[in-house]
Each structure stands twice: as structure tokens, then as C-alpha cells.
Structure 1
Amino acid sequence: MIKLIKGAKIYAPEYRGVKDVLLIGNKIAALEESINLGEIPGVEVKVIDGSSKLLVPGFIDGHVHILGGGGEGGFKTRTPEITLSDITKGGVTTVVGCLGTDGLSRNMVSLLAKAKGLEEEGINTFIYTGSYKVPVTTLTGDVMKDLIAIDKVIGVGEVAISDHRSSQPEYEDIKKLTADARVGGILSGKAGIVNMHLGDGKDMINYLFDIVQNTEIPFTQFLPTHMNRNPHLFEEAIRYAKAGGHVDFTTSSVPSFWEDGEVRASKALKRCLEAGVPIEHITFTSDGQGSLPMFDENKQFTGLQVGKVTSLFEEVKQAVLSENVQFEDAIKVITANPAEILKLKGKGRIAKGYDADVVLLDEKDLSIDTVIAKGRIMIEEGQVQVLGTFE
């Protein structure tokens, strides 16, 4: 089916004015002031009214526990696998799956299989190799081999540092892991990025600064996440980003975390921009379907909630509506920025030849109206059109 979106305000993510967008198959075929196809014998053309709508690239969520996560409170606290509509209801058309604390009962083969299943159901998927633990457990037994041999593997992660749940890796462990990821990325034409999980530990991101200062590895080889976890780590995020690195803020949270000092992602974005951090150095990820464990002062588990992919755009919307961040800037942190940082070709922009992953938003309240992934309508007028196999 050919789809023609008429008269939408285009944020590509830069503002392009009111235009028509033609989707043919899984690609954007044209972006023009006016496109009129007329009748095409034997071809179905679906016309979508884009008036009073903003058209943006499909959202990219670069950190999702698609297999589920958790387990910090025992077996009963393992969070369930994610479903297709859990993702698409948040406007997300591309996810990067990862393991977390538990890299044993949830493993790389299962992660790859889940990613392939979600792809078959209609969205774009990639994965990180490894989990919290160092040395990382991979599919082939080697980080570089995973990057070179397995299409869906684009980097390593999430590797935990400065966290009581980490394997307490040494500086040399992280340096060698990052070097392997870098070379594997170079040889495979992928990002080869190392997604670093940051906990509340006092060392914060000292390892990353030390590696950049004492080796030839650049800041951009890392993507440290959860950098809004506490005020001290957030200040380090600003320092790291201004020095040339990329920083990622987690959108899944609960109000009690904000009360305890976590910097809400929408506020983190505003404060970074005010501090002079280039917008291109900032991303949001949801930590979707991961656990949100709570611990007391003795590091004892006290409770658990589950991260939501839908929080991703909610925090972007909050940044615009409550923090007065320009929409064009805010939308970049879940579209063009992750596409560039993770080297996801054809993603993150509305342009001829790019993938037909787009989202229509209501102009008044920025609610999600329509989600199209790989040229297929997943959400239409706010209603789910495509469910996962077991939904």
C-alpha cells in the first residue's frame, strides 16, 4: 500500500514547514509542498490527513529490557517480556534490547530471539551484547566476533560500574572491553559503543575520564546511561558532555525517586541546555520493562516497579510543555541523536530515502495520533491497529 500524508507540519527533526509526505513500501519516497497522485489502477493509496498534526521521525529507544529484567528481590520479581503494543503505544519504532543484572537466566540467545520476534511483528530491533557483568558473556565468545558476525549486535552493554550490583570491574577490564568494542565497530561499520550502566557509587564515571585521558579511545565510544540518577552524577554528566561525550538520561521513574534526588529527564534536558551542552550530545532512553528497584540505606531491597517505554515521549513532551524546551531540540533526543550516535542508517529523520518510520502528533497537546513502522500503520487515531502474536 502507498500512504500519502497530507498537510502536516514536518519536524525532520528540524522544522521543514507544512508538506506532504509519500511513503512507498518501507521507505519515504517524497517530501514535497504538494503531492497529488490521483487514481492509480490496481494500486491502493491510503491518504492520511495531517492537518493540525506534527509529523516527526519514529522514536528510537536505545535501552529496553525486551526480555524483561529485575530479579533483585528474588525470582518472583523478574519482570515479564515486553509486548509489541507496549512499544508502539509510546511512538517507538526502533528499540535496542539489552540484558541487565541477570545475564544468566536471561541470556544472549534469548535476547536475540526476542529481538527477531519483535522485528517479525513489525518494528525495528537491535541488541547489545553482554550484561552488567565483566567479562561479558557474548553469543560467539568474543565481543568483536559478535559485532562482525551478528547483524543485530551494534554494541556492548549494559555494563555496570559504580553500582553494588556490578561485578566490580577494574580499570583495565573496562579499557580492554572498550578497545574490543571499538575495533569490532570499525570492522563491521557499526557504532561499537559501550552502554555503561551507572549506579550510585562514589567513583561515578571516573573510569571513563581516565580511559579517554590515558588512551586513544574517544569520549564518544561510551554511552553512559542513568546519568540523572542523582544530583552528583548529573553534574558529572554535564562535565562529560561538555568535554565531548554523549550522555543518556533515563525516563522511567517514580515520583519518590525525584523526591530522593533523581533529576527528572525533562528537567535534566533543560538544565543541560542552559549549561551549554550541545543538544546533539544528549539522548533519552526508557529502560523499558526493566525493574525500578528500591533499596534502603543498607542496600536491602524494599520494593519494585517496572519501567515503561511510554515514558520516553512523555518526558520529551514534559520538557516542551513544562520546561519550555524548544520542540525541535526536544524531539532530537529520541530521533536524530540516537540514530547518529548508534549509527542506525536510515533512521531518525524524515527525508527521501529514509525508512518509513514516522509519528503523527496532535498539534495542541502533542498526544500520539498515528504511528507507522516500516511503512505499516501500528497506531491510528490513538488506537492500536497491530497487536503482538500473544496479545
Structure 2
Amino acid sequence: MILFKNVKLFDGHSLIGERDVLIKNNKIQLIQNDIDEQSIPMDILHELKIINGNGKLLAPGFIDVHVHLREPGFEYKETIETGSLAAAKGGFTTICCMPNTNPVIDSIETVQSIKAKAAINNGVSVNCIAAITVSERGEDLTDFVALREAGIIALSDDGRGVQDAKVMQDAFMQAAELKIPVIIHAEDEPLAKGGHMHAGEKAEELGIKGIPSTSESVMVARDILLAEAANAHVHFAHLSAKESVRWIEHAKKMGINVTCEVTPQHLVMNDQDILEDHGNFKVNPPIRAREDQNQLISAFQSGIIDIIATDHAPHSEEEKSRGIKGSPFGMVGLETAFAVLYSKLVLQHKVSLERLLQAMTSRPAEIFGFKNGIIEPNGEANLVLVDLDKRKLVDANNFASKGKNSPFIGWELQGWPIMTIVSGEIIHEDKEV
């Protein structure tokens, strides 16, 4: 049993002020203005852990639908275990792993293997996203029915865009019948070919071939039309371009079943923040221009962009030491996501705290059918306690993730998760508190 006293409560929808919250038998038992521990029966009082929140924020555990755990095949970058530890440290209680592993998550056996390994971890819920096409080659569709029965929550060829429109059309049609969301990595490969960062002034300054925004936006437009024709649910991963936002806004006004996500790095950075030729700044889609960043922030606050997803993509330090041209795409983000967004958006009055929290809890739960995401009596006790006043420097040496490839290293941030709870059990606690 855990009794939180004097916490600033966000219930998944809104901030509702200071409350006491009692957790018993893995569930939320009571939410009241004042819960007197003396009212708890003596025979179970000895089991009670009292945590005085002193105004700290208690919210549903964060949900991240876009994480690369690298296992199987790339365990030197990350494992299910280390990725789950990083998630817990960042306040995430539910994560979804992308399929570009080796072997690719395109079979029942691989899904079952990942779920079995996740079951013996720290309690963070690890959900599988399976490939749209076999081995993510963009040719033959995977067995959607079998994968759905194995427990996947969505389909994606993340890391690659499905280039063949006929293959994508067939995928949308099958997914619509099974009511499976399709997550799109929107990238036209011929347009993006050979690029390493956004095609803009900074790329020219560094002498690095750029990736144009059209490589994303043309695929967003194509897949909106294909999804509309199939009456499918299309979800666009890691939006980066202002033109993509325009298409999403139009599609939503037309009543098309489209949702989308944005990463912390695309909201708080633009290409002028790339101060050196270092692999930690290389991500796909790339960090784009200031006007793209501003449009993403506006669309996020208004709800055109639905949710936050980190696209947590760990690599080895050796791989990321080869400069922007020679390094693989990807940044880690699970452990810094909330602090980055709170510091750079909420505290700078660009985004409201409620909107940020909705995008990390109830909204992803609603889109992908998770039962958690809100705090209510008899609900599952998956929670995060955040100290909105806590300040510290981002130090990769303290990451739980194997990946140290963060562009935020050295940033001083405010607002850090200090306790993560899954099914009423504390799975992470900041010992500095």
C-alpha cells in the first residue's frame, strides 16, 4: 500500500489541484482532498508507505509508442532490459518497440520471444509493433492476422518508408479489416538519398548533403489518400516538416482517420542548434529549419499533432563518433523527454503543462487502445511522480540506456521524474531526492 499525500494531481485529462491518492492491491483505491492514515485499518496499516508529495506532480505513467530496443540482433546498442530501465527512469510505464531489429519483428516467434523477455523485466509494459512487409523490404506483406493474434498493437516499416504505393494500398486495406493502426515512416527514398541532415543553410555551411522536407511531405500526402480510400487508421511517426503539418490538418478537417506524433528533438531544436559536425545531431527525419520547428510547436499545442513519442534510438559511442556523414541516424530520448519539453516549452510558455501531459498519457492510450493513461478509482496504479522544481544537467554517464547519443548532453533542465510505479509497485526511485 502506498499513500501519496499533497500531490499536484493530473488525472489524464486535466490538472485538478492537490489531492491524496491511496494505492492498494495494485489499484488506485481512493482520491480525496485529505486521506487520514488513521482511518486505515490497523491490521494493514503496517504495510502502508506514506509519500509526502509536497506539491510534486503525480500523473499517469508516460506512454511512448516509438522506441527502438534493438533486441534481437543489436544488443550492443540496447536490450529489452536496459531500454526498460531507461523507460522507467524517464517516467514511462508503457513503451512500444519498433520492428527494425535482426531478425525483423515480422513473425509470431519473434513477437513471442520479445514478450517473454519483457515479462521478466522491471514491470514496464513492452508492446510489439510488427513490420508491414517481410524483412521491411517493402515487397511482400507480413501475416497481419497471425501477428494480431500474437498481440501486436500496430504495424510499421519504421526506419524505411514503403516505397511501392500498391503494396501500401494493400496493407491499408488489410489493416482496416483487422482494425490495426498503421504507423508510417514517411520518407521518399529517391528524394532523401545520400542526405544526412536538413537541406538548408546549416547543411551548406557544413558542406553536408541535405534531406529536403519534400521527402517527408510527399509521402504524408500519398498515404493520407491511400488510407482514406481504405478507411484505415494511419498514424504518422516523427513529423518534422511544416508541409506535413498542413496535410495532417487538412486530413483531420476532412474526417480521415489520421493521427500523428512529434519528438522532443523536433520541438525544441532547429538546424541552427547544430553547433558542430557530431553524430549526436544526426536523426531521421532530420532536425529542420526554425519555421518548421515553430509550426510543429503550434500544431502540437492546438492538437493537430496528437502525441509525443521519443523515437529512442540508441547507438554505440563508436558509431556516433564518425561525424554527421559517417554516423547512423538516431538519438536516445526516454530519460530526458519530459524534462526537455517542460524546460523548453512549458516554462517558456509555448505549450501548456496540461497539453504536454495529455500527449504523454491519455491521448496515446486512446489512440492505441491502452487501458491505462488516466488516474481514477479502481484503475491500474501505473504512475509517475515528477519534481517540477528539480534542476540538473544532462549527463550521459548516468543514463540507464546503453546509448549515450543525446544532443541534450550538458543542458541544464528542470522538471524530472523521480518515481515510477507499475501496478502499485515502485520500479524506479530517484535516490538523489
Tell me by how many angstroms 1:204 deviates: 2.4
The corresponding residue for 1:272 is 299
The corresponding residue for 2:196 is none
Matched, 1:355 2:352: no
Letter of the structure 1 residue corresponding to residue 369 of structure 2: K
The corresponding residue for 2:219 is 204
Q: Distance in 2 between matches of 1:342 and 1:194?
A: 11
Identity %: 22
**CA deviations over 1:268-312 (Å, ceiling 9, x no partner):** 5531156xx436x51111111356999xxxxx9521354231243
Q: 1:267 to 1:124 in 2, by over 3 A?
A: farther
Q: 1:115 to 1:290 in 2, by over 3 A?
A: farther
Tell me by how many angstroms 1:366 deviates: 2.1
Tell me by how many angstroms 1:52 deviates: 2.1
Among candidates 350, 369, 372, match of residue 324 of structure 1: 350
Q: Distance in 2 between matches of 1:329 and 1:272?
A: 12
Q: Distance in 2 between matches of 1:56 and 1:267?
A: 27
Q: Distance in 1 between matches of 2:78 and 2:2?
A: 35
The corresponding residue for 1:286 is 310
Tell me by how many angstroms 1:211 deviates: 2.0
Tell me by how many angstroms 1:379 deviates: 2.1
Could you say what secondary structure the match of 1:246 adopts? Answer: strand
**Number of aligned pairs?**
349
Q: Is the 8 A contact 1:267 1:323 kept in 2?
A: no
Tell me by how many angstroms 1:105 deviates: 6.2
Letter of the structure 2 residue corresponding to residue 40 of structure 1: M
The corresponding residue for 1:389 is none
Letter of the structure 1 residue corresponding to residue 237 of structure 2: T
Tell me by how many angstroms 1:338 deviates: 0.2
Q: Distance in 1 between matches of 2:314 and 2:140?
A: 19
Q: 1:78 to 1:45 in 2, by over 3 A?
A: closer
Map 1:171-250 → 2, pairs under 5 A: 172-185=166-179, 192-199=180-187, 200=192, 201=215, 203-215=218-230, 217-218=231-232, 221-228=233-240, 230-244=241-255, 245-250=258-263
The corresponding residue for 1:189 is none
The corresponding residue for 1:81 is 79
Letter of the structure 2 residue corresponding to residue 12 of structure 1: D
**CA deviations over 1:184-220 (Å, ceiling 9, x no partner):** 23xxxxxx111111225262212222224434x05xx
Could you say what secondary structure the match of 1:322 adopts? Answer: coil
Q: Is the 8 A contact 2:141 2:171 kept in 1?
A: no
**CA deviations over 1:330-360 (Å, ceiling 9, x no partner):** 1111101100000111x11111122211111
Q: 1:157 to 1:118 in 2, by over 3 A?
A: same
The corresponding residue for 1:343 is 369
Question: Could you tell me the TM-score, scaled by structure 2's length?
Answer: 0.70
Tell me by how many angstroms 1:316 deviates: 3.0
Tell me by how many angstroms 1:28 deviates: 1.4
Question: Could you tell me the TM-score, scaled by structure 1's length?
Answer: 0.77
Q: 1:49 to 1:136 in 2, by over 3 A?
A: farther
Tell me by how many angstroms 1:22 deviates: 1.3
Q: Is the 8 A contact 2:141 2:167 kept in 1?
A: no
The corresponding residue for 1:188 is none
Q: Distance in 1 between matches of 2:85 and 2:353?
A: 25
Among candidates 145, 152, 163, match of residue 168 of structure 1: 163
Q: Distance in 1 between matches of 2:300 and 2:368?
A: 22
Q: Distance in 2 between matches of 1:25 and 1:290?
A: 36
Q: Is the 8 A contact 1:69 1:291 kept in 2?
A: no
**CA deviations over 1:352-371 (Å, ceiling 9, x no partner):** 12221111111334221211
Q: Distance in 1 between matches of 2:104 and 2:173?
A: 28
What is the root-mean-square deviation of aligned Cα atoms in Å?
Answer: 3.4
Letter of the structure 1 residue corresponding to residue 297 of structure 2: K
Q: Distance in 1 between matches of 2:169 and 2:8?
A: 45
Task: Report the structure, 1 or 2, having the larger strand content.
Answer: 1
Q: Distance in 2 between matches of 1:360 and 1:288?
A: 21
Q: Distance in 1 between matches of 2:308 and 2:299?
A: 13
The corresponding residue for 1:387 is none
Map 1:45-84 → 2, pairs under 5 A: 45-67=48-70, 79-82=77-80, 83=82, 84=84
Could you say what secondary structure the match of 1:66 adopts? Answer: coil
The corresponding residue for 2:7 is 8
Q: 1:166 to 1:272 in 2, by over 3 A?
A: closer
